Amino acid sequence: MSTADIIELSLPFKAEYVSVARLTASGIANRVGFDIETIEDIKVALAEVCNKFVNIGSTKADCYKIVFKIEESKLVIIFDCEDKSLKCIFDNEIDELGISLINALMDEAEFCTSNEYLFLMSKSLEGEY
């Protein structure tokens, strides 16, 4: 994979579709070469972010987007939405457990990004930092 492969998933702000995101992440992470335990970690972190989007919802957009970017030895997961008011969806006090969980399971997490997207997290294959 010399260039990044990109898979996009658009989901409504409904809890019943979080399992679709988890299943998609599982298949993609398996394709990258992660072991079963790491795939579970990625799915848990992904579900944490998806559930936050579902709980907050949006009055301006019908769905949010998850972009899976497969790099040489790394999986980057980007969350975005047309409703840019959803920046910084995690509150340091209220979501302390969720933030800690994502930070523990993923190699990188951008909670309040100044980039075009709303949230980013990534995981590298073991020993590929």
Model confidence pLDDT, tens digit, residues 48-61: 999 999 999 999 99
Q: Does the domain made of 5-124 have the CATH classification 3.30.160.110?
A: no
pTM (2 d.p.): 0.91
If DSSP states are collapsed to H, E and C, what string results for 40-68? Answer: HHHHHHHHHHHHHHHHHCCCCCCEEEEEE
The pLDDT, as a whole number, for residue 1 is: 42
The helix (H) or strand (E) run that includes residue 127 is none
Please provide residue 18's backbone torsions phi and psi, each rounded to the nearest 5 degrees: -65, -35
> 74-80 and 63-71 as β-strands: parallel, antiparallel, unpaired?
antiparallel
Sheet order of strands, 5-12 included: 5-12, 63-71, 74-80, 119-124, 108-110
Low-confidence ranges of the chain (pLDDT < 70): 1-2, 127-129
Model confidence pLDDT, tens digit, residues 23-39: 999 999 999 999 999 99
